[in-house]
């Protein structure tokens, strides 16, 4: 697997075939967000969006904690360790941190999450910006900001209630307590539980399944998932969805898919 030059010490970005692997890499600090990590995440998502060879991404972490959210120890002292490069880029992209955390400007390609251990505060907030979520069966989740006198600015007060039932979202947000992996599965917050140590391997399996499908079709479905939210009237959303479907049905990949079905062979998609 090739490590890309957009990596930072706190966020490793690697590429293998059509999959971008993004790894949080501050295990000594429970993978709490710092400027170097945010910079790596921002670069990764923009690369995913812009590189036509990339089909999807996996977000995971090194160590036994996925992410403990913002680095509260540094935040309490006002020392975030921001580099000159980070501050200069923030001047050009004021919402860089929100793009990094998948609150704003999510890439129009599938995002797969592989969680081991604790995913608290920002760790559960970034989860809500992903599409398919694999968790170890001993993982722990929680939007815990209220317990620290803080507000979950990663989007949970808006996004969480759209992804799980309202009353469960309210419980998570207002109580600020931990949620077990089994609860997260039962509530629909994650797709699948696996034995500890297996989340990344299973995430790779999902990535391979996505990469086997037609790129134009996957991109159109992902765009519809991103843009056609519950707040849209159904007839409006259907018309918008139809506008995405037309180019897919007119593509060479669509013809190849139907021929492959007829011939009982694997399709050879070209993204055309």
Q: What is the pLDDT of residues 169-212, one digit of tens each?
A: 999 999 999 999 999 999 999 999 999 999 999 999 999 999 99
Task: Give the pLDDT mean for 116-137.
Answer: 98
Asked whether 251 and 269 are in contact (CB, 8 A), the reply is no
Whether 73 has a pLDDT exceeding 90, the answer reads no
pTM above 0.85, yes or no: yes
Rounded to an integer, what distance in angstroms lies between the CA atom of residue 220 and that of residue 161? Answer: 25
Whether 75 has a pLDDT exceeding 70, the answer reads no
Q: What angle do helix axes 215-227 and 252-263 make, rounded to 10 degrees? A: 120
Q: CA 140 from chain center: how many Å?
A: 17
Q: What is the mean pLDDT of the chain?
A: 93
Catalytic residue among 3, 92, 116, 125: 125
Whether 66 has a pLDDT exceeding 90, the answer reads yes
Q: What is the pLDDT of residues 151-174, one digit of tens each?
A: 999 999 999 999 999 999 999 999
Q: Is 205 a catalytic residue?
A: no
Whether 110 has a pLDDT exceeding 70, the answer reads yes
Give the number of residues written for the chain: 272
Catalytic residue among 3, 49, 116, 145: 145
Is the domain spanning 2-211 CATH 3.40.50.620? The answer is no
Q: Which residue in the block uniquely carries the two structure tokens 């991404």?
A: 57
Q: Which has more pLDDT, 115 or 75?
A: 115
Rounded to an integer, what distance in angstroms lies between the CA atom of residue 252 and that of residue 257? Answer: 9
DSSP readout, 128-158?
TT-SEEEEETT-EEE--GGGGT---TTTHHH
The CATH code that applies to domain 215-263 is: 1.10.12
For the record, the structure tokens of 163 come out as 């992804």
* Residue 78, pLDDT score: 46
SS3 58: strand
| Sequence spans of domains, the chain | 2-211, 215-263
Q: Give percent of the chain with pLDDT exceeding 70.
A: 97
Q: Is 145 a catalytic residue?
A: yes
């Amino acid at each position: 697997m090739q490590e890309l030059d957009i990596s930072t010490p706190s966020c490793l970005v690697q590429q293998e075939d059509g999959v971008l692997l993004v790894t949080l890499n501050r295990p000594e600090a429970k993978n709490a967000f710092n400027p170097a990590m945010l910079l790596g995440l921002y670069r990764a998502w923009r690369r995913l969006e812009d590189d036509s060879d990339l089909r999807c991404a996996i977000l995971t972490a090194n160590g036994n904690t996925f992410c403990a959210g913002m680095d509260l120890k540094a935040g309490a002292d006002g020392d975030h360790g921001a580099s000159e490069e980070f501050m200069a880029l923030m001047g050009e992209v004021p919402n860089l941190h929100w793009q990094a955390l998948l609150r704003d400007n999510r890439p129009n390609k599938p995002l797969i999450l592989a969680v081991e251990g604790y995913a608290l505060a920002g760790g559960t907030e970034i989860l809500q910006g992903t599409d398919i979520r694999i968790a170890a069966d001993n993982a722990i989740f929680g939007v815990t900001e209220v317990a620290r006198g803080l507000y979950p600015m990663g989007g949970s007060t808006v996004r969480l209630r759209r992804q799980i039932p309202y009353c469960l979202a309210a419980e998570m947000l207002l109580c600020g307590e931990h949620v077990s992996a089994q609860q997260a599965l039962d509530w629909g917050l994650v797709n699948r539980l696996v034995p500890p140590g297996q989340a990344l391997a299973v995430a790779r399996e999902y990535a391979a399944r996505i990469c086997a499908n037609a790129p134009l079709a996957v991109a159109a479905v992902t765009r519809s998932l991103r843009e056609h939210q519950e707040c849209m009237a159904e007839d409006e959303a259907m018309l918008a969805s139809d506008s995405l479907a037309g180019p897919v049905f007119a593509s060479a990949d669509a013809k190849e898919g139907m021929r492959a079905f007829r011939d009982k062979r694997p399709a050879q998609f070209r993204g055309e």
